[in-house]
Amino acid sequence: MKLTSKGRYAVMALVDLARFDNINPVSLRDISLRQGISLDYLEQIFSKLKKNHIVKSIRGNQGGYVLSKNPTDIKLTNIFHAVDEKVKTVQCKKDSKKGCNGKATKCITHNLWDELENHINSFFEKKSLEDLIQNRKENRL
């Protein structure tokens, strides 16, 4: 049970972006250098973040990315959803005969996995980008 680097990088990059986007758009190149993430990989990630309306892009020279919402309104769950970082605790397929088919004959531990999924997702729904920036500031003082 582990977090993928896509999800981790997305959050890191957005925290970085949030710190610098007051004045100018931030280029992926800068984020790449500061965070040590490959530029090509960042482009993949930001393409998804853009599709999900978390960031906006400004093309051309001196271009870059800016947040498209207030950091308070960007929850972890939005970010993870954008980059396909899903929480999957069950693998019960609808057409399986053995075990759980999602209907009548639930596998004996099905409730447990549902609980676990909710437990994790509640964490993601609570945390906003703003929380992370604040947290960082506190640690810096």
Instruction: Kindly list the residues in this chain that would bind its own copies in the complex (CB under 8 A).
Output: 1-5, 7-8, 11-12, 15-16, 35-36, 85-91, 98-99, 107-109, 111-113, 115-116, 119-120, 123, 127, 132, 135-136, 139
Residue 116 in contact with residue 89, Cβ under 8 Å? yes
Rounded least distance, CB 128 to DNA, Å: 23
Q: How many CB atoms lie within 10 A of CB 108?
A: 9
The residue type found at 139 is N
Binding residues for DNA restricted to 112-141, rule: CB under 7 A: none
Binding mask 80-99 for DNA (x = CB under 7 A): -----------x--------
Residue 100 in contact with residue 107, Cβ under 8 Å? yes
Residues whose CB falls within 8 Å of the CB of residue 50, separated by 6 or more in sequence, listed in order: 56, 57, 65
Site residues, DNA (CB under 7 A): 2, 4-6, 25-29, 38-41, 43-44, 46-47, 50, 57-65, 91
